[in-house]
Amino acid sequence: MTAVTDEVLTFDEAMEKYDPVLGFEVHVELNTKTKMFSSAPNAFGDVPNTNVTPVDLGLPGVLPVVNGVAVESAIKIGLALNCRIAEKCYFARKNYFYPDTPKNFQTSQFEDPIAYDGHIDIELADGTVFRVEIERAHMEEDAGKLTHMGGSTGRIQGAEFSLVDYNRAGVPLIEIVTKPIVGAGSRAPELAKAYVAAIREIVKNLGVSDARMERGNVRCDANVSLKPKGQEKFGTRTETKNVNSLRAVEHAVTYEIQRHAAVLDSGTPILQETRHWHEDTRSTTSGRPKSDADDYRYFPEPDLVPVVTNEAWIEKLRAELPEPPAERRKRLQADWGYSDAEFRDVVNAGVMSSIEDTVAAGVSAAVARKWWMGEISRRAKLADVEPAELGVTPELIVELNALIESGKINDKLSRDVLDGVLAGEGTPAEVVEKRGLAVVSDDGPLLEAIDGALAAQPDVAEKIRGGKIQAVGAIVGGVMKATRGQADAGRVRELILQRLGVEG
């Protein structure tokens, strides 16, 4: 655990006095087959230092060659963010010494990004639309991965030595930089989360990135500053690095707003620096001072020729773009027949794509919604993960639903079946078998239980006979209790009414 020593104001106190200004740098790892400047595979999770060529190790004499697919991906991202695409742009070297960077410079773009001057409309939970202006999106390469050994914390402090894996070195990255975001007020944390979610959704929708935040495919640096209400001039900002989940983005922005407010209230200036986010304590700690005068000695990369685009190429890529997420949402809501409130809940729960996949796999929109908004969301909340991260596949839901519709199991039992499947006990059918979860469909034991229930509640039985059919629920409840839920409630109802000689 990281000790929290910062003074913080409550969020509401901070909001009374200050207006937050946000800014984001989101790094998106592309899912190209090969790396940005070499033919090495771009793959996650392989044996360290196996996905490397001499180029990725920065060996003497090597030269980079631009990955054309990565350039197209960059243009697609630019177009999806309503950016202008540069007719001609250059790569530049960002020079700094660090052992995860094999050449001790990162090949990036500086003065001429491939995409610039865009915007994206972010819809908040209550339907408010907030426009975020995009400054630029540029191409660059990822660094390798350092693992610090021998210390207790896994951090470089206290470590005896460090290992470096260059598999990630050279993986294509698109860095998306916003213009300063003002006017979000108390909704800043919510907007922060929604913005990163939107970027993730866009790049996933474009098919250019796997967009898995837990693998670092989408990484966010969040800039926060506060200015006293009414003041025009921005305050000093801090940059919280590598905030790598949607919740963390929201929490980190909240925390920095609270911390800045306390620092400013105490009359101390904010130190311009990077901050590290700690999920365990939901707080940030000081990183390194970062001034605008950081000297990376950028200069045009002489080993690469400029990337030159043309109208025909850009228009071809524009034509290939998938439906934008906002339009997609409109279409899906209409297709599914959800009310505005229902649909917003679905979007906010982050299960829209899951529902789409599940409907495509063969269940009704209502059934898909019941699962994703009900049982799966409930479990996700308990586990503190996103619903999509639970490992429930559309096919699983289709199978569960088929079992329910065939009367083999009921809704209540289906949760146990889901438990079994997620515990690795096999397919739903196998779990039903192994756990003995099938509903009691043999009328014999049911009739026995019904007789028992009717005998226990003779007054209710009388009411039903007298035509108050809605009273049948009490008897059904008794039967379900007696069968420990393993009965098909519909069938039980039928049998009760038969037994009492009443037309359902």
The one segment of 91-99, 196-204, 333-341, 366-374 that binds other proteins by CB under 8 A: 91-99
Taking CB under 8 A as the rule, does residue 62 contact other proteins?
Answer: yes
- Residue nearer to other proteins on the CB measure, 78 or 102: 102
Nearest-angstrom CA–CA distance, 294 and 262? 27
Q: How far is CA 306 from the centre of its chain?
A: 35
The footprint of other proteins on residues 147-176 (CB under 8 A) is 162, 164
**Smallest distance from other proteins to CB 62, Å:** 7
Q: Please, what sign has the CA dihedral across residues 7, 13, 17, 19?
A: positive
CA distance 346 to 348: 6
1, 5, 45, 97: which one binds other proteins (CB under 8 A): 97
Nearest 5°: the CA angle 79, 84, 85 is 80
Q: Does residue 457 interact with other proteins by CB under 8 A?
A: no
Distance CA(372)–CA(356), nearest Å, equals 11
For the bound state, the minimum distance from the C-beta of residue 299 to other proteins, rounded and expressed in Å, comes to 6
Nearest distance, CB of residue 111 and other proteins, angstroms: 11
How far apart are the C-alpha atoms of 180 and 11, rounded to whole Å?
Answer: 21
CA-to-CA distance for 201 and 196, rounded, in angstroms? Answer: 8
CB 236 within 8 A of CB 272: yes
272 belongs to the binding site for other proteins (CB under 8 A): no
Distance CA 349, CA 373 (A): 7
> What's the rounded Cα separation, in Å, for the pair 491 and 494?
5
Secondary structure (3-state) at 284: strand
State in angstroms the smallest separation of the CB of 293 from other proteins: 6
Of 51-59, 395-403, 409-417, 458-466, which segment contacts other proteins by CB under 8 A? 51-59
C-alpha torsion 241→245→250→254, nearest 10: -40
Amino acid (one-letter) located at 48: P
Beta bridge partners, 218, equal: 28
Closer residue to other proteins in complex, CB, 61/391: 61
Binding status of residue 57 toward other proteins by CB under 8 A: yes
If the CB atoms of residues 65 and 321 are measured against other proteins, the closer one turns out to be 65
Query: Least separation, in Å, of the C-beta of 95 and other proteins?
Result: 5
CB proximity list for 47: less than 8 A, separation 6 or greater: none
Q: Which residues pair with 21 in a beta bridge?
A: 182, 225
Q: Which part of the chain contacts other proteins (CB under 8 A), choosing from 64-72, 202-210, 228-236, 417-425? A: 64-72
Residue 66 near other proteins by CB under 8 A: yes
Cα 433 from chain centroid (whole Å): 35
Residues in 344-383 at the binding interface with other proteins, rule: CB under 8 A: none
Residue 104 found at the interface with other proteins (CB under 8 A): yes
Nearer to other proteins, 63 or 366 (CB): 63
Give 149: exposed, middle or buried? Use CB within 10 Å, 0-12, 13-18, 19+: exposed
CB of 96 to other proteins, least distance (A): 9
**What is the distance, to the nearest Å, from the Cα of residue 72 to the centroid of all Cα atoms in its chain?**
24
Q: Binding residue for other proteins (CB under 8 A) from 46, 63, 374, 466?
A: 63
Residue ranges in 289-328 that form contacts with other proteins under rule CB under 8 A: 293, 295, 297-299, 302-305
Of 4-12, 93-101, 112-120, 245-253, which part binds other proteins (CB under 8 A)? Answer: 93-101
95 touches other proteins by CB under 8 A: yes
Binding site for other proteins (CB under 8 A): 54, 57-66, 93, 95, 97, 99, 102-105, 162, 164, 293, 295, 297-299, 302-305
